[in-house]
Amino acid sequence: MSPTAAPGTERIHDPQTYVTGAPLDVIDELREQAPVVWVDEPATADFDGGPGYWLVLRHADVQSVLTDPATYSSHLGATQVRDPATSADLSYVQRMMLNMDPPDHGRLRRPLQKSFTARAVLRLEEQIAAHVSGILDRSLKHDEPVDFAKEIAADLPLLTLADVLGVPPEDRMLMFDWSNRVIGFQDPDYATSAAFDPSQGSEIARAALMLRPEPDADGRMPDPRSRSGMPDLYDYAHRLGELKQRDPGSDVMSILMSNTHGDDGAISVEEFENMFWLFAVAGNETLRNGLPGGMYALLQHPDSQRRLREEPELMDSAIEEMLRWWTPVMVFRRTATTETSLADQQIDAGQKVVVSFLSANRDPRVFDKPEQFRIDRGAREHLVFGHGPHFCLGAHLARVQMRQMFTQLLERTSWMEAAGEPALLRSSFQRGIKRLPVRFAAA
């Protein structure tokens, strides 16, 4: 028999809730009542139900879960709240670095770490600055509404990811579509995303696009977390890999290809495919929603925008507060490997344990008056990039991109104000902004 769900958790679990805003009132109330609460997973018109899960709400307990992979496994049930549809689907996604525990996780992570060190990112900063400048040259309009989310924020992580991953820049909108289909699988606007123009892409992109699934009679795409749901992505990965094998560079794809041969520590075909999926899909989503989240924070808090213009030395602190205040990735899952206790709550072996980054980043035990947006807070203890062995490889890269974007925006404008209401992503996983109309006044 399942435990009794805490009142209000149905709103947290329901993706429709987030169309009108994250249920911060419920989250705050639950966190103060109990550090760990049970959430039911009822069946819906879109998805089968599940067994339910324990939701971890306080900062210290979230950290505890993330630093103990022996007890709270990323591998056992993978890291998405919703269970994979079949055992074969689970077996496949378990070959993704995100869904591995030590030592396999470290085996895949180590060859890539040098691409994301502070020194490596510093070498990219000039290129990132040029990308931001080019985006603003194309998209920034003074005194006219601009959709910041789509016209400005979406392109920067795609351009930078193309540089790092080794994807031809003309193919970057493929990654936009793949991300939409995966991250936005709960949102009808995103689930069938097809923004990529094949006439503008490379030959390998056009070939891969021939395998793109079509929506069924009900307008639904196949499960994007299964291998059969993303055949175009995997075909592209292999075609690009062949190119990198013939003409290697210093990018991530070249590093992956150099590690798919040999005996010791070699990367299997399944691991290679999953690694490409991870970078191409998840590699841009935190920033893609963090940028609009940061903009929304400045629009909602004009005094903070004014102060940041007057004190640009606060930019690094402001970036951390933007990330904390918005929190793009709201939850991640682990699975208990054994019977255990967390914050005095008994947890059975095999039960899902879902950490709430959104709640942890609003925990008053760590952040004074967390509901307030304070650009001088110094919020480096936020958990936007995770914690422990799975701490995000691209955290420093994301921070540099945010700093470049907001620095240049403030230099090229005298004021920024909302030009309409934002459209929010229908998702209980990613706190996304699909559209954010902004009016920019000339500097």
Can you give the pLDDT of all 443 residues of the chain as single tens digits? 679 999 999 999 999 999 999 999 999 999 999 999 999 999 877 778 899 999 999 999 999 999 999 999 999 999 999 999 899 999 999 999 999 999 999 999 998 888 888 888 888 999 999 999 999 999 998 889 999 999 999 999 999 999 999 999 999 999 999 998 988 888 888 888 988 999 999 999 999 999 999 988 877 888 888 888 999 999 999 999 999 999 999 889 998 888 875 445 578 889 999 999 999 888 888 899 999 999 999 999 999 999 999 999 999 999 999 999 999 999 999 999 999 999 999 999 999 999 999 999 999 999 999 999 999 998 999 999 999 999 999 999 999 999 999 999 999 999 999 999 999 999 999 999 999 999 999 98
List strands edge to edge, sheet with 352-356. 36-41, 50-56, 352-356, 331-336, 72-73
9-115+284-442 CATH choice from 1.10.3720.10, 1.10.630.10, 3.40.50.300, 3.30.450.40? 1.10.630.10
Tokens 């970057």 appear where? 172
Give the CA-trace dihedral at 23, 28, 31, 34, to 10 degrees: -90
Instruction: Give the pLDDT of residue 265.
Output: 54
Structure tokens, 362: 């609003």
Instruction: Give the pLDDT of residue 261.
Output: 56
Pair type for strands 331-336 and 433-435: unpaired
Instruction: Give the pLDDT of residue 119.
Output: 87
Instruction: Give the pLDDT of residue 321.
Output: 98
User: Is residue 413 within 8 Å of residue 443, measured between CB atoms?
Assistant: yes
Structure tokens, 314: 């606060």
Query: What's the CA gap between 224 and 303, in Å, rounded?
Result: 42
Structure tokens, 200: 């503008």
Instruction: Give the pLDDT of residue 283.
Output: 80
* CA distances in angstroms from 124 to 164, 278, 400, listed in the order given: 9, 21, 9
Nearest 5°: the CA angle 119, 123, 126 is 140
Nearest to 161 by CA among 229, 225, 205, 115: 115
CA-CA-CA-CA torsion sign (57, 60, 64, 66): positive
Specify the pTM. 0.94
